[in-house]
Structure 1
Amino acid sequence: MSPVIALRAPLEEDLAPFITLLGNLGVPHRVAEQGNEQVLWVPDEHIAGQVRELYARVPGGDPNFQLVRAPVASSRPGFFAQAKHSPLTLIVLALTLLVALLTWGGEDYDVVRWLSFVDFQIEGQYIYFGTFAQVVDSGQWWRLLTPMLLHFGILHLAINSLWYWELGRRIEARQGALMLSLLTLWFGLASNVAQYVYGGPALFGGLSGVLYGLLGHCWLFQLLAPNAAYKLPRGVLVSMLIWLLICMTGVFELLQFGSIANAAHVGGLVAGCLSGLIGGLLARQFARR
């Protein structure tokens, strides 16, 4: 549930009596100054409509007016209720699961090679990668995006899927399915290209670059245009950034836990911060009108 604007009033208007009445009625609210106006925010449109009705009667307050509040859910919506409003998020996760099944968790290299950033051949114990020029010459442009659907192992798939569900549905709820699809493609492209440019031809994949893009988008957007959907617990942001720094130290490669596509993570985060910066500035500008 996202806060909505119930009233806008000139700066010179004294809203104090009306705000006092709202407090006496127990109506959650927040007043902010935007441009040359006072803006009154309330939790939902149901309350907003009644607040406007009250304000229309007597701006100074009517002691006999009673607000009829909508029932408040005792807990957050369940999975199916959230899924109903997050179709694009589910589609991306379904595609990721389908690719995981088709590639047997990244172990069927005959399928993986068609989805990797560049083609490769395995001869004995050696793997030989193609080049990006060959991708361009053959017109296999899907390779710029499909590595984000590749996952290597159940744990890799499960962690990334859970984070995409958590972050993706927030953006879909706040900015819509079309915006989430565009951002997912943008972050996937940015993270894949960053990894290839930095690390050269190699086998990499996963939604983690996209996840860092979603994180950066929510982070910067929320700083510039605060909203309930993008308000992440501070521990989430800090832990993911710390995890990124730990991965960049190379400790996991040193312990032979496998390679981590750090450039993809950084590329996704930078792309997400850029989109969050632009989106947040635009949202703040529209809110002032």
Structure 2
Amino acid sequence: MSTVAVLRLPLNVDLGGFVKLLQRMQVPHRVSEEAGEQVLWVPDAISDDVRTLYQRFPAGDPDQQLDIPQEQVPKRPGFVQQLRHSPLTAGVLLLSLIVGAVTMLGDNLQTMSWLTFLQFRVAGEYLYFTPLADSLAAGQWWRLVTPMLIHFGILHLAMNGMWYWELGRRIESRQGSINLLGLTLLFSLASNYAQYTFGGPGLFGGLSGVLYGLLGHCWIYQMLAPNPAYRLPRGVLVMMLVWLLLCLSGLVSMIGFGEIANAAHVGGLVVGCVTGLLGGLYGRRKRAS
């Protein structure tokens, strides 16, 4: 779009009021200084209208006599509205809070034993785990996914909850509650089984394996079928991947963060990338059809 000079005025003329009026009206413009004059440039298509406007309001419109409709900026949904739009995300977080309270964030071993991947009994200072096959034979299939609700400490719960709220809402808004539920259960199963396979019998839990699954899903999906819901800030993606590498290096455990379920993180991320690949390819194909 070409621009033309509609006004050439001496430098001592105050053009500030008129410029503010153009800003209120959202008129594209710029002011330059040339040969001792200030020059107002506007698109050629509206140059005559701007000249007429200056003749009427050379000092602008400080009293706002002109009724200029303002562009409505969409309001960010309130917390209650976000809850209504993300019932599954909120439900998983509520369950995590309830389990955190009942298990006393890992201190109540008796209660926690009902939700761990492997059932166990306490004998003195030792834990004796029941083989997974025995638990599944007894119909305790929930153990494959319920470790995601167990957290060890308020910081563990707060960080995982914050990221699940951020990533879960994105997927729920784009793919619906049922798909988010399926992905959450799938990532929980994959990360729990990966941790059990590579880490052996032990106590582990938390939403972090699921979070890395959600991250991988959004990451790859966005690369193949871009959409605003899955557009993560690059810094977030880099930060979480760097954190994963630091955990794998053993540095995080060495500085006092406790044992990290690295296999769960990697397992969740790998499966999340696969679901993101499948979903992204389907989304791209759907757009093309």
- TM-score scaled to structure 2, two decimals? 0.74
Alpha-carbon offset, residue 286 of structure 1:
0.4
Give secondary structure in 2 for the equivalent of 1:127. strand
Correspondence for 1:71: 72
The range that moved more, 189-198 or 128-137, is 128-137
The letter for the 2-side match of 1:277 is: L
Alpha-carbon offset, residue 127 of structure 1:
1.7
The letter for the 2-side match of 1:124 is: G
Alpha-carbon offset, residue 196 of structure 1:
0.4
Deviation digits for residues 231-250 of structure 1, max 9, x if unmatched? 00000000000000000111
Q: Does 1:259 align with 2:259?
A: yes
Counterpart-to-counterpart distance in 2, 1:252 and 1:152: 16
Q: Does 1:186 align with 2:216?
A: no
Alpha-carbon offset, residue 124 of structure 1:
1.7
Contact map agreement 1:86 1:173 (CA 8 A) in 2:
yes
Correspondence for 2:198: 198
Counterpart-to-counterpart distance in 2, 1:207 and 1:160: 6
Deviation digits for residues 102-150 of structure 1, max 9, x if unmatched? 1011110000011000011222222222211222222211100100000
Counterpart-to-counterpart distance in 1, 2:144 and 2:130: 14
Counterpart-to-counterpart distance in 2, 1:183 and 1:254: 32
Deviation digits for residues 199-238 of structure 1, max 9, x if unmatched? 1110000000000000000000000000000000000000
Contact map agreement 1:116 1:147 (CA 8 A) in 2:
yes
Give secondary structure in 1 for the equivalent of 2:174. helix
For 1:102-181, list aligned pairs within 5 A.
102-181=102-181
The letter for the 1-side match of 2:162 is: L
Counterpart-to-counterpart distance in 2, 1:186 and 1:70: 44
Deviation digits for residues 13-64 of structure 1, max 9, x if unmatched? xxxxxxxxxxxx99xxxxxxxxxxxxxxxxxxxxxxxxxxxxxxxxxxxxxx
Correspondence for 1:16: none
Alpha-carbon offset, residue 191 of structure 1:
0.4
For 1:38-57, list aligned pairs within 5 A.
none
Give secondary structure in 2 for the equivalent of 1:198. helix
Q: 4+ runs of 1 displaced by more than 4 Å?
A: none
Alpha-carbon offset, residue 156 of structure 1:
0.4
Correspondence for 2:237: 237
The letter for the 2-side match of 1:174 is: R
Counterpart-to-counterpart distance in 1, 2:237 and 2:76: 21
Contact map agreement 1:130 1:201 (CA 8 A) in 2:
no
The range that moved more, 230-239 or 138-147, is 138-147
The letter for the 2-side match of 1:144 is: L
- Whose RCO is larger (CA < 8 A, sep 6+)? 1
Q: How many equivalent pairs are there?
A: 223
The letter for the 2-side match of 1:159 is: M
Contact map agreement 1:244 1:265 (CA 8 A) in 2:
yes
Counterpart-to-counterpart distance in 1, 2:180 and 2:244: 23
Counterpart-to-counterpart distance in 1, 2:286 and 2:129: 48
The letter for the 2-side match of 1:190 is: A
Q: Does 1:89 align with 2:89?
A: yes
Counterpart-to-counterpart distance in 1, 2:122 and 2:71: 63
Question: Percent identical across equivalent pairs?
Answer: 60
The letter for the 2-side match of 1:132 is: L
Correspondence for 2:285: 285
The letter for the 2-side match of 1:142 is: W
- The verdict on how the C-alpha distance between 1:147 and 1:88 changes in structure 2, with shifts beyond 3 A counting, is same
Counterpart-to-counterpart distance in 2, 1:253 and 1:280: 35
Counterpart-to-counterpart distance in 1, 2:255 and 2:235: 27
The letter for the 1-side match of 2:148 is: M
Counterpart-to-counterpart distance in 1, 2:83 and 2:256: 38
Counterpart-to-counterpart distance in 1, 2:275 and 2:183: 8
Counterpart-to-counterpart distance in 2, 1:114 and 1:275: 30
Alpha-carbon offset, residue 255 of structure 1:
3.5
For 1:216-227, list aligned pairs within 5 A.
216-227=216-227
Alpha-carbon offset, residue 70 of structure 1:
7.8
